[in-house]
Amino acid sequence: MEDHAAASMGMGTALVRTSFLIDAVYAAAGRDFDLTIPQAQVLCVLIPRPYGMFELAKTLGLAKSSITGLVDRCEKRDLVRRESDPSDGRASRVALTAKGKQLAEEFHDTTTRRVAELTLGLTGPERDTLAALLTRVVVDNRVPAVFTDGDCPSDPDA
């Protein structure tokens, strides 16, 4: 039987176990919306604005061949479209379609709510402290803006 006792954990263990918890919630939301995790990430990244293919690959940490296939699959589902890049006629950008934008926003809102619910056992001040500390960890480690709050800039350096 698995032990779920409230024993104190070291920082690394606590963060890894939290990562497993968040990944499970994210994957469950993806299944509910018929999205793979990479598809959900692409849609959420594109909510604020279109991205160039290179920029999208870099943000998601994917190789050029992987991002091309992922965008192709999203395009076949009418979730994204390629459009010409106004600053470089040879390049294209990836943008959400109306269907993709609606799905992305619904997925984002649902996932954000489900993840936030994981902290319901904490007091309001504890949740605020946790959010502030995690924000510092994310900013200090320059984590790409794969998932943002609606009122936060899409670029962590902004």
Residue spans per domain, the chain: 13-140
The H or E element that residue 40 is part of is: helix 37-46
Contact 57, 66 (CB under 8 A): yes
User: What are the pLDDT digits (tens) for 105-114?
Assistant: 999 999 999 9
pLDDT, position 4: 58
Q: Which of 6-15, 21-30, 146-155 has the highest mean pLDDT?
A: 21-30
Query: Who has greater pLDDT, 89 or 127?
Result: 127
User: What are the pLDDT digits (tens) for 25-61?
Assistant: 999 999 999 999 999 999 999 999 999 998 999 999 9
pLDDT, position 152: 40
Query: How many residues does the structure list for the chain?
Result: 158
CATH of 13-140, one of 3.40.640.10, 3.50.50.60, 3.40.50.2300, 1.10.10.10: 1.10.10.10
pLDDT, position 3: 58
User: What are the pLDDT digits (tens) for 65-79?
Assistant: 899 999 999 999 999
Report which of 118, 112, 14, 100 is spatially closest to residue 50, judged by C-alpha positions: 100
Distance in Å from the first CA to the final CA of the chain: 47
Q: Summarize the confidence of residues 130-154 as an average pLDDT.
A: 78
Q: Torsions phi, psi of 22, nearest 5? A: -65, -45
